[in-house]
Amino acid sequence: MSFVKRVERVALAVEDLEAATAFFEGWFGAKFHPEEVIEDMGIRYRPFDLGESKMELLQATRADSPVAKFIKKNGGPGVHHITYEVDDLDAAIAELERRGGRVANRHTYPPGTTFEGFVWREAFVHPRDAFGVLIHLAEKKPAGGTRKPALSEGEGQAP
């Protein structure tokens, strides 16, 4: 049995958020949601619906951002990560580790931080362990709802 609920979205790293938005709207009829900023990671992101699927565009706001590093390392834009939604992040990590997998790091947002109306808890499986793909494990709870305690300080940033 899988601890993964669903593929929640695919994230694309881009150098020009406006050009990428115009492309996906114009060519595929994408419906964009409001842009948000992940300050501590140096990322602007724009989620969108494409048919019944969800995707997001990521643009770096500074050179030390994981998105800037990805674009530099890969010589341009591309698929940055795939998000797998889980009901309980701690249980998902425990099961992943029980199966021999490992989490590269966890990312903790400051208390009260929400994206798209949800509080996110997340961890990442490094591409070296996942056939070249950064896997993002995400637990999403509606903002204002019950939330698990934040992870301890200093548990890292996305790879």
Query: Does the pLDDT at position 146 exceed 70?
Result: no
- The tokens for 146 are 């019950």
Express each pLDDT in 72-89 by its tens digit: 999 999 999 999 999 999
Is the pLDDT at 132 greater than 80? The verdict is yes
Q: Which domains does the chain have, with CATH numbers?
A: 6-142 (3.10.180.10)
Residue 73: φ, ψ to 5°: -65, -40
DSSP-derived 3-state class of residue 3: coil
Average pLDDT over the chain, rounded to whole? 90
DSSP code string of 25-42: HHHH--EEPPPEEEGGGT
Question: 106 pLDDT exceeds 90?
Answer: yes
